[in-house]
Amino acid sequence: MKIKKEDIPVAMQAPGTIMRNLPGYGGMTVAFNEIPAGTDLTPLLKGLENNSCHCPHWGYIVQGAMQVIYDDGSEEMLQTGDVFYLPPGHTAVVEEDLKLIDFNPTKEFGEVMNHIAKKMAEMSE
């Protein structure tokens, strides 16, 4: 089973941002995201438990960097070439234009993406 990133359906798009995802990929949702520097995901997660992402992610930073902030207050920088696991309970700020691929449990990922879509719609009103 394989797919080119360009063939992963676009789920959300905003200036400088393209978020692609495909559920049902080996029991997970595969995502390829391009997000510009300066993007703070925290406001988009407000209203979820602890105002953070409850979906675990396994992935790879293709390009760029992001600062991950965990619910316990710890932080770590993920950069080009890093393979990562993010447990539930995190948010992030994009430090350098970011391209990443990650794999996510479909149920939790869908909940978070639906919440983000709702927040983006509210912000554009």
Number of domains making up the chain: 1
End-to-end CA distance of the chain: 40
Residue 117 counted as domain residue: yes
The model's pTM: 0.92
The CATH number of residue 81's host domain is 2.60.120.10
**What digits encode the pLDDT tens for the residues 11-22?**
988 888 999 999
Range of the domain at 83: 8-123
Residue recorded with tokens 């992935």: 59
Q: Mean pLDDT throughout 52-66?
A: 98
Burial of 97 (0-12, 13-18, 19+ CB in 10 A): middle
